[in-house]
């Protein structure tokens, strides 16, 4: 008879314990890494151990790989992480309050709100050089302090390089961005900065 009375009490305690665990897990998820970019794509987290302090080292001997296959080797870049780094670096400059960056397969597009009282050319040069310092040399960097540039590059944030009319849309946005000061690093037609 006493067993029947204990059963509801045990079930109630079990229910409260489970509810408390669920609430704690939800709270932990909310507090975890608050500075992550929206819609982040963590492609590089293949190792459980933090690799922030790890150095990179590679050594090959000539006979270890096929030279013909190496000619077709392509550089792979986590574009969202690069965009995040560029944006964070620019925001560290005095007076820059709002920055958005889009990284494609060949271009970096940066929209920014220039600091009050700073020359537009100087701001553009700072933004452009910062972006160039973080990407391979074949990239083109385009910058704009025009407020509409934020919406223009955000409209591409869910695009892929395989989308229909992708190139045309990028070209239209680049042409708009070129109406703003571009900085002192000159662009060339073969995707190399001078």
User: For position 57, what pLDDT does the model report?
Assistant: 77
| Residue 107, helix vs strand vs coil | strand
Contact 121, 181 (CB under 8 A): yes
Contact 110, 131 (CB under 8 A): yes
User: For position 84, what pLDDT does the model report?
Assistant: 95
Tell me the average pLDDT of the chain. 78
Contact 89, 126 (CB under 8 A): no
CATH 3.30.70 assigned to 79-177: yes
User: For position 15, what pLDDT does the model report?
Assistant: 62
Question: What confidence tens digit (pLDDT) does each residue in 11-67 have?
Answer: 666 666 566 655 555 555 444 444 444 444 444 444 555 556 667 777 777 777 677
Residue 124 CA to residue 116 CA, distance in Å, equals 13
Residues 182, 121, 102, 113: what is their CA dihedral angle, to the nearest 10 degrees? Answer: -150
User: For position 38, what pLDDT does the model report?
Assistant: 46
Residue 156 CA to residue 170 CA, distance in Å, equals 8
User: For position 110, what pLDDT does the model report?
Assistant: 96
């Amino acid at each position: 008879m006493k067993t029947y009375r204990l059963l509801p009490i045990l079930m109630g305690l079990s229910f409260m314990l489970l509810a408390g665990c669920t609430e704690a897990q939800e709270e932990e998820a909310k507090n975890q890494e608050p500075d992550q970019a929206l819609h982040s794509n963590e492609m590089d987290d293949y190792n459980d151990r933090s690799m922030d302090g790890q150095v990179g080292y590679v050594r090959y001997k000539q006979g270890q790989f096929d030279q013909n296959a190496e000619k077709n080797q392509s550089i792979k870049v986590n574009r969202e992480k690069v965009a995040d780094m560029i944006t964070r670096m620019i925001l560290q400059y005095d007076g820059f309050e709002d920055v958005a960056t889009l990284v494609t397969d060949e271009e970096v597009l940066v929209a920014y709100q220039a600091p009050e009282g700073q020359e537009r050319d100087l701001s553009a040069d700072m933004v452009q050089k910062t972006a160039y310092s973080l990407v391979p040399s074949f990239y083109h960097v385009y910058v704009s302090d025009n407020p509409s540039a934020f919406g223009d590059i955000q409209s591409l944030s869910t695009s892929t390089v395989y989308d229909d009319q992708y190139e045309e849309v990028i070209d239209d946005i680049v042409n708009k961005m070129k109406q703003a000061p571009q900085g002192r690093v000159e662009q060339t037609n073969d995707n190399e900065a001078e």
